[in-house]
Amino acid sequence: MKVLVTGSNGFIGKNLCVTLETMEGMEVLRFDAGQSLDDLKDLCGEADFVFHLAGVNRPESVEEFQTCNLGLTETLLSILEEQKRLVPVMLSSSTQALLDNPYGQSKRQAEDRVLEWGRKNGVPVIAYRFPNVFGKWCRPNYNSVVATWCHAIARGEEIRIDDPNKTLNLVYIDHVV
């Protein structure tokens, strides 16, 4: 089986690819930032399943939430449809999709688009809303508050807790994979 992983060099993507590559009969097709849309088209033409993990959560401008999270999702689905590659798609989303902020809105819109595409084409699709994922290859001040806190504590720096009464739901990367 050929599995396309978008965002393959990201935190979740890297962990997923390492695991998939140990499975017999599994060929991992990787797509990440810096590759072209032609590369994505070529990879889509081979894929039997897509893990769509690519996106942004700390962009330079707020507009990037729409172009990267929703826009890339729409592009991916359009390519699959044009190529008549109606394969299952798993979208990584976030519990932030429940919130009314630019990141959450873009993730919720991407979820809606994937679910709509699946219904329209009779294709199984899944949108997973991950909570705070932590673990190996996680970047401090980017992917996880756990990595950020560990990084600060190891350097004798203070950690920041915005709301000490808030419950933080965590999941370890190997459990996600």
The 3-state DSSP class for residue 44 equals helix
Q: Please name the residue that has the structure tokens 């894929």.
A: 47
What CA–CA distance (Å, rounded) separates 114 from 118?
6
Q: What is the 3-state secondary structure (H, E, C) of 104-133?
A: HHHHHHHHHHHHHHHHHHCCCEEEEEECEE
> 66-75 burial, b for 16+ CB within 10 Å, e for fewer?
eebbbbbbee
- Between CA 152 and CA 53, with CA 162 as vertex, the angle to 5 degrees is 70
Residues in the chain: 177
Q: Which residues are catalytic?
A: 103
- Between CA 129 and CA 4, with CA 115 as vertex, the angle to 5 degrees is 75
